[in-house]
Amino acid sequence: MRIVLLGPPGSGKGTQAALLTERINVPHISTGDLLRSAVAEGTPLGKKAQSFMDRGELVPDELMLGLIEERLGSADVKPGFILDGYPRNLAQARALDEVLERIEQPAEKALELVVDEEQIVERLARRAEEEGRSDDNEEVVRNRLAVYREQTAPVSDYYRDKGLLEQIDGIGSIEEINRRLADALN
Ligand code: AMP
């Protein structure tokens, strides 16, 4: 199964991807997690990415493409993947299609978790308290949501046009939402 998971920051993508990865046995690829590891390890990519992440901006496309190409080239991706956090704009969506075409692994479904903005601000405030992520403070959250609206939301239409988009109600318990996602895959 080759799945692209879409949805705004705080929509529960990471949580749901972690559950789905066990259900369907393909790796969960989170570009946010990959970047946070790179920052923690102080790699050249991490050093370049950090200031963008701290401001809630997108890390430049060319850096992201290198990262995602390398990850998708790994052997464990043969049975499929759940992509979480990529693509974040139309250029990334097109670049991803090219990479996937080259490795003959085209995306099969784009699942979008739909959650309204008010709920998201609430959830991210809670996450800031629980996990202490530096980009979950109010000002950066507001910027991440603006970036989502302006740059990432159009990605849904891109997948809708390809006939791959399925929108899932992202409000409910973790189990309920996971069931909806699983149903969408059957
Ligand atoms: P996330 O954990 O997916 O919310 O990502 C955290 C931060 O990492 C984002 O606010 C961006 O700064 C950066 N990031 C993650 N994925 C991407 C991507 N596909 N393109 C650009 N920046 C990204």
Ligand 1 neighbour 133 (Cβ under 6 A): no
Q: Is 85 in the pocket of ligand 1 (CB under 6 A)?
A: yes
Interval between CA 106 and ligand 1 midpoint (Å):
22
The percent of residues in the chain predicted with pLDDT above 90, rounded, is 84
180 a catalytic residue = no
Side chain identity at residue 119, one-letter code: Q
| Catalytic residue from among 133, 142, 160, 180 | 133
pLDDT at 39 over 90: yes
Give the nearest ligand 1 atom to 135 CA: 10
Place of tokens 């692994």: 105
Domain boundaries, the chain: 2-185
Confidence category of residue 61, pLDDT binned at 50, 70, 90:
very high
The residues, any chain, with a CB within 8 Å of residue 166's CB and separated by 6 or more, are: 109, 110, 111, 112, 184
> What ranges in 56-173 are assigned the alpha helix state H?
61-72, 90-102, 117-131, 138-147, 153-161
Q: Ligand 1 atom 9: the closest Cα is on which residue?
A: 53
Q: How confident is the model at residue 26 (pLDDT cuts 50, 70, 90)?
A: very high
pLDDT of residue 36: 97
**Is residue 59 over pLDDT 90?**
yes
Report, at the CATH architecture level, how domain 2-185 is classified: 3-Layer(aba) Sandwich (3.40)
> pLDDT (tens digit, 9 = 90+) per residue, 6-19?
999 989 999 999 99
Residue 46, pLDDT > 80, answer yes
Q: Is 8 in the pocket of ligand 1 (CB under 6 A)?
A: no
13 is an active site residue: yes
Please give the mean pLDDT across all residues of the chain.
94
